[in-house]
Amino acid sequence: MEALLEGQGVEITLIYEGEHKVDGNPYQKLPNDVKKQFQLDLKNTRQMFAQKVADNIGMTVGDVLDTEAATYTGQEVVDIGFADELVNSSDAVELMIEHVNAQEKTIVNMGANMTTEKSKGKVAAVTVKEDAEANDEQLDATAIASAERGRVLGIMGCDEAKGREAMANQLASMPTMNIDDAKKLLASTPQVKNEDAGESDNAAKEALAALQAGHGQSLEQNGGSDATDDDKQVGLLLAAMGKKRNDG
């Protein structure tokens, strides 16, 4: 870019504060020291990512790095160790629900075991208060994340979502939408056949976008005693979107 602009008689002046403020800008040839720093940052980021992958799926860091950023599909993903098995989409939802339920039971059991051990006086002494607080925060974060996954999968995997997958996906993406309200909305929406899925998907997105854009309307206007069935559905959706979560 620098040579091209120079050939066209264009001179670029960068005005900045801080020696490295414009590192990597497109108007100047990349200096060697900046290139080396970019490469080092990239190497460190890749190492951290590989470590995170290895910790979560049971591979070694070396095996992850040996893929050299290649991509894989289908059975290749299983063979390389990045997945356990291949399943169709409907079975995947069920497996995810089972996994979330298992995690929730584990968290509950951990809490029960801690209470039992305390009652027997067998809990090891914690010498650093910050460590105990960090563990509590990690447990809380895990419980919250598990509950959110359960909410999303509960909406996408409910019976009412069958034939209404596009609508279920949109409702699940709303953090304030609970499972009961989502089921009511899905049940009031006609099911679609596979050949109509694309059209239904676009229609659902447009309808929800319109509802979100009109969020400022009062619930009385959308769900009053004289409202039509469609208006009542809108009122229900807006009410669900406006709820505040009470989980802490």
**pLDDT for residue 189:** 79
pLDDT in tens, the chain (248 residues): 888 998 999 999 999 999 999 999 999 999 999 999 999 999 999 999 999 999 998 899 999 999 999 999 989 999 999 988 888 877 888 888 888 888 776 666 666 565 555 555 544 544 445 555 666 666 677 778 778 888 888 888 888 888 888 888 888 888 888 899 888 888 887 877 655 555 555 555 555 555 555 444 433 344 444 445 545 555 555 555 444 334 44
3-state secondary structure 149-201: HHHHHHHHCCHHHCCCHHHHHHHHCCCCCCHHHHHHHHHCCCCCCHHHHHHHH
* Residue pLDDT, tens place only, 184-214: 888 887 877 655 555 555 555 555 555 555 4
Interatomic CA distance for residues 54 and 62, integer angstroms: 9
pLDDT value at residue 126 = 47
pLDDT tens column, 44-77: 999 999 999 999 988 999 999 999 999 999 899 9
Q: What is the pLDDT of residue 170?
A: 82
Residue 31 is classified by DSSP as P
**Distance (Å, whole) CA 156 – CA 165:** 7
**Per-residue confidence (pLDDT) for residue 108, from 0 to 100:** 62
Helices 165-172 and 179-187 meet at what angle, rounded to 10?
A: 150
